[in-house]
Each structure stands twice: as C-alpha cells, then as structure tokens.
Amino acid sequence: MPKGLRSLLLTLAELSCLSVIFVLLPLRSGKTLQLRARESAAWLALFAGLGCGFIAVEIVLIQKLSVFLGGPAYSMALTLCALLVFSGVGSRLSQSWAASGYRAAGSMVLGVLVVQSLELAFLDLGVPALLGLPHVWRCVVAVVAIAPLGLMMGMPFPTLLAKAGQASESLLPWAWGVNACATVLGSVLATISSLTVGFNRTWLFAMGMYLLVGVTVAGRCRMELYGKQSGKTHRRTPAMSIG
C-alpha cells in the first residue's frame, strides 16, 4: 500500500474517533432523540448524505480546477471562496421555500443533480478548451461556473433542517452534528476515492449521495401527501352513533 494512502487511512481512523468523542458522545449525553429509532436513523442518514456529497464535490472541484487556475493554491482559495459564498446565498434564498414542504426540498435536490451533471461536463470538455485564456479571465470563468453549483447545493440543507425541526426539535443538534462529522470524514474519503478510482467516479459518488437524499425526501413527500389525504377523508366521514 502506498504511504500516502496509508496516511489517509490513518487520518480517517483518527477523525472517526475524534468525531465520536467530541461530537456524537456529547450529543448523546445532552440531547435524546424523541422519535422512533427507524425515523431518527432516516433523518440522520439524510443529513450525513448531504454533508458527504457536498464535501466530495468540493474536493473534486478543487482538484479539477487546479491546472486551469494556475496551481493548487489558486484553486483552493478561489474554489472554496466562491463555493461557500454562493452556498450561503443559496441558503438565504431557500428561506422563501422553507415552508413549502418536502416537495420543494425534492425539487432542490433534483436541481442539484442537474447542475452537477452540467458542471462535470464543463470541467471535462469546456475547461481544456479555455486554457489559453489569461489568468484573470480563467478565474472569472471558474467563479461563473461555480456560482450555480454553489447556489443549488446551499439550498437543501436549511430547508430539510426546518422540516426536521417540525418533526422534533431534538433532531436539530443531531442534524448539525452528524452533518459536520460526515463533512469531515467525507473529505478524507473523497481524497482516497480520487486517488484510487479517479475524480469523475468520486463526483458520481457525490451525486449518488444526493440521489439517495432525493429518494428519501420523495418517500417523505409521499407519506406527507398520504397523511393529508387520510386526514381529509377522516374529516369527511360522518360520525356514527350506536344506540
């Protein structure tokens, strides 16, 4: 096994232990989930998928834009800045749809998958064709390309966080904690995956995470719709008296 990969695996083990000690154990001692185990696991898996998918895209994006932007230092600075700024803007814009339910969240996840597909195609086909541009214009192109990706990827988390709070307020600290752990561990996993199977497959893995989130949200949307229909049917059924 190469030394670099061995170091990454050791880092993954260390971060896993530290995440359990400093995030999950304090949460368990302070906040008890007030939901059934199966429902709690579904919610936590959803936020873990968002964290892992986001950071995997971020890692691959930094690597793929490294040559285009003139080196890893430029790529990390510009990519992180643009992605986090536009993700924050997307989170702010998502407040308008936070009360729209799971259907809005599902539409956001679908939008993320579409934009990610277009972004991956641009990185493979468009970026090599634009290498002749001056450095300043390459930076502008990178920011413009990252903007829609950041906007869309910033929307699902706050929207689903609002829905989790409606389900149970005890979910909120757990959602933040699990998402943070998944983001930290996902950065190492994405690096290992990039070294072993390549950047594109790692990007597809990130899209798979968002796809699983979308499937989970679609299932909850169906349950919510069924519950509303059942409630309407129950209200319309006349009460029967005996005797």
- What pLDDT is recorded for position 238? 46
Of the pLDDT bands very low, low, confident and very high (cuts 50, 70, 90), residue 239 is: very low
Alpha-carbon gap, residue 96 to 34, rounded angstroms: 28
12-21, 73-82, 229-238: segment of lowest average pLDDT: 229-238
- What pLDDT is recorded for position 65? 95
Spell out the residues 6+ positions from residue 241 whose beta carbon is closer than 8 angstroms to its own: none
Whole-number percent of the chain with pLDDT over 90? 65
Query: What is the rounded average pLDDT of the residues 173-184?
Result: 94
Of the pLDDT bands very low, low, confident and very high (cuts 50, 70, 90), residue 218 is: confident
Cα Rg, the chain, nearest whole Å: 21
Of the pLDDT bands very low, low, confident and very high (cuts 50, 70, 90), residue 2 is: confident
- What pLDDT is recorded for position 74? 94
Helices (runs of H) and strands (runs of E) counted in the chain:
11, 0
For the chain, domain boundaries: 45-220
- What pLDDT is recorded for position 116? 96
Of the pLDDT bands very low, low, confident and very high (cuts 50, 70, 90), residue 237 is: very low
- What pLDDT is recorded for position 234? 45
Of the pLDDT bands very low, low, confident and very high (cuts 50, 70, 90), residue 224 is: low
Tell me the per-residue pLDDT of 92-126, one tens digit each, with 9 for 90 and over.
988 877 656 778 888 899 999 999 999 999 999 99
Of the pLDDT bands very low, low, confident and very high (cuts 50, 70, 90), residue 229 is: low
* Whole-number average pLDDT of the chain: 87
Alpha-carbon gap, residue 153 to 54, rounded angstroms: 7
Alpha-carbon gap, residue 181 to 40, rounded angstroms: 16
- What pLDDT is recorded for position 100? 65
- What pLDDT is recorded for position 217? 87
3-class SS at 32?
A: coil
Given a contact cutoff of 8 angstroms between Cβ atoms, the answer to whether 93 and 170 are in contact is no
CATH of 45-220, one of 1.20.1250, 2.120.10, 3.40.50, 1.25.40: 1.20.1250
